[in-house]
Amino acid sequence: MAEQALPRFRIAVVGSGAIGGYYGAKLAHAGADVHFLMRSDLLEVRRSGIRIEGRGENIHVADVNCYASAGDIGPCDIVLIAVKTTSNGDLPHLIPPLLHSRTILLTLQNGLGNEEYLAKNFGAERVLGGLCFVCLNRVSPKLIEHYDHGRVAIGEFSGPPRERTHQITEMFKRSGVNCRVVEDLSLERWRKLVWNIPFNGLSVAAGGIDTEAMLADEDLRELLRSLMDEVIAAANQCGHALPASEGVHQIERTESMGQYKPSTLIDFERGKPLEIEAIWGEPLRRAAAAGAKTPQLELLYAILKSLNQKLLRSAAARERAVVAVPA
């Protein structure tokens, strides 16, 4: 595959946060034809570009093609979707101007339900999913810090990998991203949830603590394990053959990550909406539909939903307060 000539894809990035900004900039830096849809950060990125720092990387994309509307970008071959899942409701009006008849929609979002949502709105044929195993922090619109990992796993939403799956994977690899094709995207989504459900959830519910602090607390460590076991059992019940050993492996791998803050904790600290439904709600509903028992996931979901509602009320109150300040 490495020797093969790749089509020159025209690529749009919708959602230029840490994930969209990082992978979009990696592709652009390697010479791909990348077009970023941006809102508030447009002028700053036009002026300063995007820089990636950390883990031995120091990349600067000075000339970023960025646009205020999807109509200005026009039809593309691949759309990387990296908005927070809480903004999925914006996609039905953001995506259409980017589509031609064979445009691929590759969602790099967290959790379950995103491929289904895109399939429902734009047709299942177009949809691929990518799982990102990466520790990033978008410090400002022009600077993304890269702390750890970085690999991406790409699969088809409906069915086994095709030629396009391999081509997109190859494109990522040529831009310096550790990328592989997965045979079974749903299985891999559940495997990732084995981490996200306990670590993202408890990092917020237990009072704003990082992975190292969680693992150092004996009771929380035990809970991380028992939540992982619940998720693995639910995945199995849903027909995805995750091994029972998955939890141990993931705990081990997390121990090398240091004081890592899961994305949900970063959202929480910034007062941004949490990805409650994609990471906890949808897996819970699928587990329940398959008849799996998930008492701890249920409790965690209800607590996080309540914390999120409080967060949104505070954010709304802050916004009202700002509006009320005399000009």
Task: Please give the residue ranges that form the binding site for its own copies (CB under 8 A).
Answer: 202, 205-209, 217, 219-220, 222-223, 226-227, 295-296, 298-303, 305-307, 309-310
- Please say which residue, 139 or 302, places its beta carbon nearer to its own copies: 302
Report in angstroms how near the CB of residue 288 gets to its own copies at its nearest.
Answer: 12
Count the Cβ atoms, other than its own, within 10 Å of residue 103.
18
Report in angstroms how near the CB of residue 234 gets to its own copies at its nearest.
Answer: 13
- Please say which residue, 107 or 211, places its beta carbon nearer to its own copies: 211
- Please say which residue, 42 or 206, places its beta carbon nearer to its own copies: 206
Is 192 a catalytic site residue?
A: yes
- CA–CA separation, 195 and 243 (whole Å): 14
DSSP for residue 266: H
- Please say which residue, 58 or 309, places its beta carbon nearer to its own copies: 309
Catalytically annotated residue among 26, 142, 192, 261: 192
Report in angstroms how near the CB of residue 200 gets to its own copies at its nearest.
Answer: 14
- CA–CA separation, 136 and 23 (whole Å): 11
- CA–CA separation, 179 and 173 (whole Å): 6
- CA–CA separation, 13 and 47 (whole Å): 18
Report in angstroms how near the CB of residue 302 gets to its own copies at its nearest.
Answer: 4
Q: Which of 118, 98, 120, 97 is nearest to 106 (CA)?
A: 118
- CA–CA separation, 225 and 249 (whole Å): 11
Count the Cβ atoms, other than its own, within 10 Å of residue 223.
18
**Residues identified as active-site:** 192
